[in-house]
Structure 1
Amino acid sequence: MKKTVLNQLHKDLGAKMTDFGGWEMPVEYEGIITEHKSVRKNCGLFDVSHMGEILIKGKNAGKSVQKIITNNLDKLNDGQILYTPICQPDGGIIDDLLVYRLSLEKYLLVVNASNIEKDFSWVENHLLADTIVENMSDQYAMLALQGPASRSILTKLITADLETLAYYSFINEKILKNKVIISRTGYTGELGYELYFEPAAARTIWQEIMAAGEEYDLKPCGLGARDTLRLEKLYALYGNDIDEQTNPFTANLAWTVDLEKDDFIGKQALIEIKKNGFQQKLTAFKIIGRGIARSGDKVYIKNQKIGQVTSGSYSPILKQGIGMAYLDNEYTKIGAEIEIKVRNRKLKAKVVKGPFV
């Protein structure tokens, strides 16, 4: 398995490690529920250095990115970030990623760890002339500081005024003379920041943040809490809720598709999908009573299969089972009662409007 630069530090802290897309990553330290509640109430620090970074630069860098993504790059000024899928010609989602506009001719794509090689190859094969693409993933470490206290903690370490940093924007700063990109983003739904810097500075920056957060009861957090936090906010996980067999419309990501902009990969297919409709939609549900549904569990109404769970877990905030499933359209109405087959029994559940928290 691949290891982030902080791998040994996690083990020294007693983290339980797991295989996540070929990376050995911390799944929990004190426990998923404790870490989850810490992020909702105070703050948590995540090592997300397994994520990938792809740099696109040159005269036609902007046009190349615009051709590849479904969202509209024209929304961005320097220092701003865009969430977007990239799609195949048939509209299937290759990945969902963040686009950082470093300058008019330079963009950084932050991609899912399991898709780095696939995404890099896709970008490389669809570049316009006078454009260069570089896989910068080995040149960045990345931490996510998430929770209500994140701004207070980070303010102790930098000179910039974080009050003025808008959502989905970033700045260049320094922590102990180490250059850091600080973006106001995250995967938890809380106030939070993601920090990018050279791997050699990772241990120092981790320790500085933990020390600054001691008075706020800052806790190291693993991927287990990251998953339950994102699920409570209905954030899609690539490989579970979205993949090459799903498209942005079925996945409730229509807001990330701009069919008015010039041609982009997948545009014609997405026009047809929107025009003709689609059979299933990604739908939020709550378990009625006790029990938890998991990815792959089948969904039924009166013994008729109507869909399949993509993500399911226990919500530490609601104290009940929650999840997402692709359901046939006629069964996605809010309040509809469904059944989910978990092992040899069926759990009763109800379709709800998200997010859960």
Structure 2
Amino acid sequence: MVHEERSMTLARTPLFEEIQAQNARFTDFAGWEMPVQFTGLKQEHEAVRTQVGLFDISHMGKFTFKGKQVLEYLQTLVPSNLKRLQPGQAQYTVLLNAQGGIIDDLIIYYQGEEKTGEQHGVIIVNAATRSRDKAWFLANLEDAPVDLRDVSRDRVLLALQGPQAAVTLQPYLEADLSGLLAFEHITTPLMGEPAFISRTGYTGEDGFEIMVSPEVGKQLWRSFLESGVTPCGLGARNTLRLEAALALYGQDLDNTTSPIEAGLSWLVHLDEKGTFMGREVIETQKSKGISRKLVGITMEGRHIARHGYPVLYEGEKVGEITSGTKSPTLGTAIALAYVSKPLAKVGQTLEVEIRGKAHPATVVKKPFYRSPQGAPKS
């Protein structure tokens, strides 16, 4: 009874009943009732690393945009140069506030320009920040001729991830996926309807994200599972992304962290852009340096560093764990943490306080794991 009452307050994706039929364990994630695991975290994690796994990520925020010179207006809200984008290309970037803090991390997909001169594309944002992001876009683009539409509830979004993702998806499409590079996307028929397909993911492996209507999404989910694809939950999604040192908004990133502190300097194109939100703060951090930095650390022994645990040096707190787990692939405990800049060098020895006791840790190079197959070229 308690479960039923809780479920009534949570949003469900169009695939909820399909997933429920697989006896998945559910959890509350950003107000959505989402599968945390199906057969088990380790099995699902291993399937993505070695074969192919399927995630329902329909809870993610999905916007379409259209308008004349729309990329120029979006330029003012992110530190990346969107003018680099050619039709069919995408940019991972961050929305910044005036203090240079990260409002959200997102991907902007540019689909091209119509004969009318209107540019159009897709923006995918985090589920927990969808409403805030939408309000931010509308407030800061209110004087711009931009038509921004929230299609989050109208579309299913699937992530097909792993070294066998391309050969698994190819039979459903007329388009040749071998020519689709990382962070490129196409719109192509799939099961009789147009499908938006991008070579992107959140696992450190090759893979695709597929946006379709709910009906096609259900058919595709069933078909993939019938062909032997492993359904995966948020548990495996988290361990996979952490091994690849991919940040999670709300833990590793928030509106008090800048892209420079978060190790995302490669998203900041100061020499290619004019004014954008938070530029002065970012320029100062670039020229004068930062006081803290997001680093990767490994733990000795069996101790696992978790979100919020203090990081110590010579008995003094010098930082805090943002994400941590035991890596299924590596068999060791890994974590991300913000630490004082002088202590952020690879090889630096630190300690993490766990239940009142200090345990040895070492700063290591990110990512913790890199796919032996390699990602598709971009």
1:245-284 → structure 2 map (5 Å cutoff) = 245-260=256-271, 261-284=273-296
Q: Is the 8 A contact 1:175 1:205 kept in 2?
A: no
Measure, in 2, the Cα distance between the counterparts of 1:288 and 1:81: 39
Partner of 1:125: 139
Alignment equivalent of 1:102, drawn from 95, 103, 111: 111
How many residue pairs end up in the alignment? Answer: 353
1:139-218 → structure 2 map (5 Å cutoff) = 139-212=154-227, 214=228, 218=229
1:287 lines up with 2:299 in the alignment: yes
1:223-234 → structure 2 map (5 Å cutoff) = 223-234=234-245
Name the % identity. Answer: 39
Q: Is the 8 A contact 1:60 1:129 kept in 2?
A: no
Partner of 2:326: 314
Alignment equivalent of 1:345, drawn from 352, 357, 365: 357
Partner of 1:55: 64
Letter of the 1:79 partner, please give it: G
Cα deviation for residue 47 of structure 1 reads 0.2
Measure, in 1, the Cα distance between the counterparts of 2:79 and 2:309: 30
Measure, in 1, the Cα distance between the counterparts of 2:16 and 2:64: 25
Letter of the 1:201 partner, please give it: V
Measure, in 2, the Cα distance between the counterparts of 1:135 and 1:254: 29
* Regions of 4+ moved over 3 Å: none
Cα deviation for residue 107 of structure 1 reads 2.4
Q: Is the 8 A contact 1:309 1:324 kept in 2?
A: yes
Measure, in 2, the Cα distance between the counterparts of 1:178 and 1:208: 16
1:323 lines up with 2:332 in the alignment: no
1:111 lines up with 2:125 in the alignment: yes
Cα deviation for residue 65 of structure 1 reads 1.1
- TM-score, scaled relative to structure 1: 0.97
Q: Is the 8 A contact 2:104 2:129 kept in 1?
A: yes
Letter of the 2:172 partner, please give it: L
Measure, in 1, the Cα distance between the counterparts of 2:145 and 2:167: 43
Cα deviation for residue 346 of structure 1 reads 2.1
1:237 lines up with 2:251 in the alignment: no
Stretch of structure 1 that moved more, 80-89 or 174-183:
174-183
Letter of the 2:155 partner, please give it: Y
Q: Deviations over 1:131-150 (max 9, x none)?
A: 22211212211000000010
Letter of the 2:77 partner, please give it: I
Q: Is the 8 A contact 1:64 1:126 kept in 2?
A: no
1:9 lines up with 2:22 in the alignment: no
Measure, in 2, the Cα distance between the counterparts of 1:351 and 1:53: 36
Cα deviation for residue 74 of structure 1 reads 1.2
Q: Is the 8 A contact 1:62 1:107 kept in 2?
A: no
Aligned-CA RMSD value? 1.1
Measure, in 2, the Cα distance between the counterparts of 1:28 and 1:345: 31
Q: Deviations over 1:54-99 (max 9, x none)?
A: 2221113121111112111011111111100010011000000000
Alignment equivalent of 1:83, drawn from 71, 85, 92: 92
Alignment equivalent of 2:38, drawn from 29, 33, 42: 29
Q: Is the 8 A contact 2:72 2:83 kept in 1?
A: no
Cα deviation for residue 267 of structure 1 reads 1.1
Letter of the 1:274 partner, please give it: K
Cα deviation for residue 130 of structure 1 reads 2.0
Equivalent position SS for 2:302: coil
Query: Where does structure 2 lack aligned partners over 5 or more consecutive residues?
Result: 1-9, 114-118, 370-378
Closer/same/farther in 2, CA of residues 240 and 322 from structure 1, 3 Å limit: same
1:134 lines up with 2:149 in the alignment: yes
Cα deviation for residue 174 of structure 1 reads 2.2
Q: Is the 8 A contact 1:71 1:84 kept in 2?
A: yes
Measure, in 1, the Cα distance between the counterparts of 2:284 and 2:348: 29
Measure, in 2, the Cα distance between the counterparts of 1:3 and 1:68: 31
Cα deviation for residue 3 of structure 1 reads 0.7
Equivalent position SS for 1:203: helix
Measure, in 1, the Cα distance between the counterparts of 2:342 and 2:285: 17
